[in-house]
């Protein structure tokens, strides 16, 4: 279910976690509120996927204020069960922790950027190694912090699935060796930590991951896998500025007649900046509003039995006459004919 559309984005849940940790190290909203995807209606909407560049920038800001090792520990500490949505429960609800981490690897894109990050599970007799695959520069402070966090997160979720703390046999980090790393020893529960390794991985005894999950429920894993697929299918990747703007405009339109200033506030920019950005992308406020109205009207005519007067009111037109003029201009036909055509298409498609 992962598509090219998801590449270059992360879940809004992961973005919220990053913002929370940034605040803990003293970074105020002024440091990140202007970044793409940080407007409240995007950040708090689980359907929206935040640009990966935004997540990276927040991580960079965090490692300016704190060592990457502290960032790893804070992210892991703040990642209570449910923080990352369905991905968390894929691990903790499977029949065994091992089956859960396999599902988590298969649906890692529900959390991370599938273009740059992934998971790999290697089973070798009495050992199971979980690798975090990340294509960023090995020496980059933010990348080091993310890799350290990822392994701590896997360990925490597996322990929650097993119902007890799991101590790894070995931890390898594709990260530069810090001056001090006691916080990582505490995070992982072992001193067997290798730095500047070719890849980041954490290794457990197979017996620890093969034991039954205490609270597993038959059939629940299949339900969660379907939910993960649906989450990816319905996600709104905020790849670029036009996508961010149109998401904000659509949200504002759902709540009433949108104005330039109200949408600008949603995007945490000024109305003048919004107008300038629209011009830079070859469009205007009136053109974008008309597109939203056109799509809404077609949807209401095709999918509901609302009268033309009601459709006009819901889409921001003064009356049915104004709506009819707009439909004639867009489609060269009447609302009634457009409704019949849309329902005929749905019938042929088996909808």
Q: Say which residues have a Cβ less than 8 Å from residue 137's Cβ, sequence separation at least 6.
A: 143
Question: For 337, phi and psi rounded to 5 degrees?
Answer: -70, -40
- Are 62 and 210 contained in the same domain? yes
Neighbours of 329 (CB within 10 A): 10
pLDDT at 281: 87
pLDDT at 279: 92
- Are 216 and 270 contained in the same domain? no
Spans of the chain, pLDDT less than 70: 1-3, 136-139, 254-255, 344-351
Residue 76 tokens, joined: 């892991």
Neighbours of 107 (CB within 10 A): 22
pLDDT at 230: 95
Sign of the Cα torsion 330, 332, 336, 337 reads negative
pLDDT at 101: 98
One DSSP character per residue, 68-122 reads HHHHHHHHHHT--TTTTTHHHHHHHTSSSHHHHHHHHHHTGGGTS-TTTEEEEEE
What is the rounded distance in angstroms from the CA atom of residue 206 to the CA atom of residue 290? 59
Q: Give the chain's domain count.
A: 2
- Are 227 and 254 contained in the same domain? no
Tell me which long-range contacts 63-67 makes (C-beta under 8 A, separation of at least 24): 63/141, 63/142, 63/144, 63/145, 65/25, 65/26, 65/27, 66/25, 67/178
- Are 74 and 219 contained in the same domain? yes
- Are 211 and 282 contained in the same domain? no
pTM: 0.75
Which residue is it, tokens 């704190």?
A: 66
- Are 230 and 245 contained in the same domain? no
Q: Which of 234, 269, 300 is the last residue of a domain?
A: 234
**Domain of residue 332, residue span:** 237-348
Q: State the Cα angle at 154 between 149 and 160, rounded to 5°.
A: 120
Q: Which of 185, 208, 234 is the last residue of a domain?
A: 234
- Are 11 and 120 contained in the same domain? yes
- Are 146 and 220 contained in the same domain? yes
Residue 127: DSSP 8-state: E
pLDDT at 283: 93
Q: Which of 234, 262, 284 is the last residue of a domain?
A: 234
User: Hey, is 248 helix, strand or coil?
Assistant: helix
- Are 245 and 137 contained in the same domain? no
Please list the residues that pair with 237 across neighbouring strands.
Answer: 49
Question: For 84, phi and psi rounded to 5 degrees?
Answer: -105, 20
Question: For 221, phi and psi rounded to 5 degrees?
Answer: -60, -40
For residues 278 and 285, is the Cβ–Cβ distance under 8 A? yes
Please list the residues that pair with 10 across neighbouring strands.
Answer: 50
pLDDT at 351: 46
- Are 228 and 241 contained in the same domain? no
Report the side by side order of strands in the sheet with 9-11: 9-11, 48-51, 236-237
CATH code, domain carrying 134:
3.90.1520
- Are 183 and 102 contained in the same domain? yes
pLDDT at 11: 96
What is the rounded distance in angstroms from the CA atom of residue 242 to the CA atom of residue 340? 32
Question: For 64, phi and psi rounded to 5 degrees?
Answer: -75, -35
- Are 58 and 177 contained in the same domain? yes
Radius of gyration over every alpha carbon of the chain, rounded to an integer in angstroms: 24
């Amino acid at each position: 279910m992962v598509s090219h559309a998801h590449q270059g984005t992360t879940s809004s849940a992961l973005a919220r976690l990053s913002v929370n940790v940034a605040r803990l190290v003293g970074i105020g909203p002024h440091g990140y509120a202007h970044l793409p995807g940080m407007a409240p209606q995007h950040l708090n909407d689980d359907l929206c996927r935040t640009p990966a560049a935004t997540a990276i920038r927040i991580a960079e800001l965090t490692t300016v204020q704190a060592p990457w090792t502290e960032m790893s520990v804070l992210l892991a500490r703040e990642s209570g069960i449910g923080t990352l949505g369905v991905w968390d429960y894929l691990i903790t609800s499977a029949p065994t922790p091992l089956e859960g981490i396999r599902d988590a690897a298969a649906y890692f894109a529900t959390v991370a950027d599938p273009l740059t990050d992934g998971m790999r599970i290697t089973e070798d007799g009495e050992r199971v190694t979980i690798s975090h695959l990340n294509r960023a520069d090995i020496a980059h402070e933010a990348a080091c912090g993310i890799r350290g966090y990822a392994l701590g997160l896997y360990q925490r979720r597996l322990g929650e699935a097993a119902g007890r703390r799991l101590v790894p046999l070995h931890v390898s980090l594709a990260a530069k060796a810090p001056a001090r790393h006691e916080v990582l020893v505490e995070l992982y529960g072992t001193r067997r930590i290798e730095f500047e390794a070719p890849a980041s991985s954490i290794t457990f005894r197979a017996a620890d991951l093969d034991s039954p999950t205490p609270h597993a429920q038959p059939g629940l894993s299949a339900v969660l896998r379907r939910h993960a697929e649906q989450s990816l299918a319905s996600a709104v990747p905020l790849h670029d500025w036009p996508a961010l703007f149109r998401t904000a405009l659509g949200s504002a339109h759902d709540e009433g007649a949108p104005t330039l200033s109200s949408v600008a506030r949603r995007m945490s920019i000024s109305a003048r900046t919004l107008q300038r950005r629209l011009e830079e992308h070859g469009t205007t406020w009136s053109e974008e509003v008309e597109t939203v109205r056109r799509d809404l009207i077609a949807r209401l005519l095709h999918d509901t039995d609302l009268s033309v007067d009601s459709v006009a009111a819901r889409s921001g037109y003064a009356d049915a006459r104004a709506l009819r003029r707009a439909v004639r201009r867009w489609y060269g036909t009447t609302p009634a004919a457009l409704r019949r055509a849309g329902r005929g298409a749905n019938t042929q498609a088996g909808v």
